[in-house]
Amino acid sequence: MKAYLLFPLLFSAVPALARDPILAPPLDCEDGTSCYIQNYVDTDPGPGAADFTCGPLSYDGHKGTDFALPTRLEVWRGVDIHAAAPGTVWATRDGMDDFPQDTEGAPDVSGKECGNGVVIDHGDGWRTQYCHMKKDSVRVEQGERVSTATVLGQIGLSGLTEFPHVHFEVRKDGAVVDPFNPEGLISCDEPKVLGGTLWDRGMIYRAGGLLDVGIATDIPAYDSVKAGTAHMSDVTPDNPPRVVFGLAFGGKAGDVMRLTLFGPAGEVFSDDHELEKPQAQFFRAVGTYAAIDWPAGRYWATVEMMRDGMEIDRGEISVELK
């Protein structure tokens, strides 16, 4: 059983304007591993928060770009982090445990919010920082020269984080620079492809989407959904696929998640869930516990994320009932 999320990586092949430095995306997402950006630099100077498009993908005081993995399962499979530009390793830290801060018993990380990480000096006042790496994964040392081919470590759950990602921060002479918006110009029209960034390629802004979809016998715990372990491996007439669930990011008030299950005889059930408020990540599930027949054959679920009546993302998963 495999879920197919119908959204690509966040990288396209359009060249960006030449700037100093020119940055490559820090994640290695090959071999089919999906990545997305959960948070951008906060551009709101007040107590609120907004990304550079005036969108909701940030939080108050956020100083970097969070390149994230859909679920925690990908952490253990291993996703490499690369240097975004050539430079010299200025500082490293390793040895902190991978322990999400929304988990009972999480350690105090005061003063070490970055977790395991690396800082690289690119010269002329430019530095980049990479946070929340997996314990014992840091592969570089202070003073070492690196290139964009250099693996710095792997995505983890160390420091002040609740989801697997690398917090990527850019600074010029100590001041935070948004690599998507180095000139600090704010646009509220949510452009799809951006120019004039620090990136070495065009970057796609996604204002929300699906992270995972699944089928289960019962409504799963949110922790298991975030971990990526809520999927069913076997279904039987006594253990039928009663529930469809979806995990998404970047939700706005009024967004609708539509969850539908189909079987050999057609639609089994469908339901719409509307968000009442913005949510950085959210999980919804729907199912049936009615005494119905479950004929043998293929069952498949579709999960659609709708905004202003338009579909912005869609995922599908199937199981075989024998």
Window from 16-20, 95-99, 140-144, 310-314 with minimum mean pLDDT: 16-20
Nearest to 232 by CA among 223, 222, 244, 248: 244
Predicted confidence (pLDDT) per residue in 251-303, tens digit = 999 999 999 999 999 999 999 999 999 999 999 999 998 888 899 999 999 99
pLDDT given for residue 18 in this prediction: 41
Tokens (6 digits) for 233: 């491996």
Rounded Cα distance, 228 and 222, in Å: 10
User: Average pLDDT of 72-87?
Assistant: 93
pLDDT for residue 11 is more than 50: no
Nearest-5° Cα angle at 180, 174 to 186: 95
pLDDT given for residue 194 in this prediction: 53
User: Average pLDDT of 37-47?
Assistant: 92
The alpha carbon torsion through 157, 39, 202, 186 (nearest 10 deg) reads -160
pLDDT for residue 41 is more than 60: yes
Using CA atoms, how far residue 67 sits from 70, 151, 169, in Å, is 10, 16, 11
pLDDT given for residue 12 in this prediction: 41
Confidence class for position 183, pLDDT limits 50, 70, 90: confident
User: Average pLDDT of 239-253?
Assistant: 94
Predicted confidence (pLDDT) per residue in 106-153, tens digit = 999 999 999 999 999 999 999 999 999 999 999 999 999 999 999 999
C-alpha dihedral sign at 194, 29, 121, 42: positive
Window from 6-20, 117-131, 156-170 with minimum mean pLDDT: 6-20
User: Structure pTM?
Assistant: 0.87
All domains in the chain, ordered by first residue: 16-206 (2.70.70.10), 209-321 (2.60.40)
Confidence class for position 102, pLDDT limits 50, 70, 90: confident
pLDDT given for residue 10 in this prediction: 45
Is 192 or 134 the better-scoring residue by pLDDT?
Answer: 134
